Amino acid sequence: MSHSALSTSAVWSRWLTVGTVLATGGHLFGVPALSSSLALVIVGLGLIAGVPHGAVDHLMATRLARGRSLTAVVAAYAGVAAVAWVLLRWAGPAALVAVVTLSAVHFGLGELEVSRRLTGWRPGRLTAAATVVAGSGALALPLARSGEQFSAVAAAVSPGLARLLAAAPLPVGITVAWLACAAVAITAALRDGHGVVALDIALIGALGFLAPPLVAFAVWFGGWHALRHSARLLTVEPGCAALLADGHRRAAVHRLARLAALPSLAVLTAIGALAWFTLASPEPTEAVAEALRVLLALTVPHMVVVLWLDRSSDVEREPLPIGGSGYRAVRRS
């Protein structure tokens, strides 16, 4: 049942990606491109849809930090996010580049874990590393392409980043590195008989290359990464896992949604409040930039918790409540 939930989410994410590529990549063949306002609406919806997948980190961290109270864990989590936001706001492009790089690794590791759970594929270190890089394509390729809208948002987040992205060597290097790693990962997956892994990498590449950069990332974040991550969470939260085992998938989804509801609302409220108080103008690109800054800040403690759980699952064999990528404590179907 747990494998079925992940498989279903994977199918939905693929169809959503195909639909996005067809709807937004038609400009290459003479079909009118998306308007700027519609593209930003899609971006906003994608970012909002991605928020809940990390909204239960506090439960995961509390279980890992045995003996620590939920209040202390939440305070530490919020503190790390606040420090990251301050650095992203005032420390220049260096902090942003560091967080984006770590995010790409986090996203790629998540893709590797999904491929393991769906197919049982355990590639060697070189192929695994290539798969991680290939799995981050929906972030790396939009960065490399840096369309006009993306550049405007990047400039709003950090003017130095926009200048860095405008330098030709960086986009070319990112694109070449992704293509090389994707070729290695796809070849290895096909050789080992795991065509679905190759398909996912190809779809990530198509989205990253063909859709408008901001749309590509937002759709992937909310409709691919978050969707698949949430399906994995169903298998490791005790209540959800029990419901799945009894065949009550809808009830398991509802339970996870209830657990994530208040934290998600808090994050969305914070984004709205920051946009309200810090934006000098009602420009939509600046609003998107503020939302991205907050989400990136929240990604820092999220990555820490996921890595913590990954390391803990190496030595523990009992399922933990709420998990991220690489949860070897959970039996693979």
Binding residues for Fe cation: 53, 106, 225, 229
Distances (CA, A) of 195 to 50, 184, 185, 202: 27, 14, 11, 10
**Binding annotation:** 53, 106, 225, 229
Q: Across the chain, which distance is largest between two alpha carbons, in Å?
A: 61
